[in-house]
Amino acid sequence: MLHEGKSKELLKRIIQHAQLDRSIFVVVRDEEGEKMNGTNKVDEIIDCIFSVDVCEVYFVDRIRRKSKGWIVVVLEYETLPEEIISDYLLNDYIEELVKIGELAL
């Protein structure tokens, strides 16, 4: 991927900011909906995201057992880092995460 380093940095910032709240568990699902990550470690989450072309990343509140939102990541060779998030749940929580991620660029 042409802009892999910057793309990873954008996603890393989003994940790290979400994890400031210890109740958040990040879940990566592939196109078939299969859970890909077994831990909440940032490096494992990033590796899972970059092992497929399209995935959904959910931010789950472990205490309430409810998703706070999601983003869809699409990785193509020439995609600019600010374009890898192709869709997301439109709410204040996710919008804040996306803005924080874009600060990495």
As a residue count, the chain comes to: 105
pLDDT per residue as tens digits for the range 5-58: 999 999 999 999 999 999 999 999 999 999 999 999 999 999 999 999 999 999
pLDDT per residue as tens digits for the range 57-93: 999 999 999 999 999 999 999 999 999 999 999 999 9
Task: Output the pTM of the full model.
Answer: 0.96
Q: Say which amino acid occupies 67.
A: S
Domain range summary for the chain, segments of one domain joined by + = 4-102
Query: Which string of DSSP letters, residue by residue, matches 19-36?
Result: TTSTTEEEEEE-TT--B-
d(CA 20, CA 30): 25
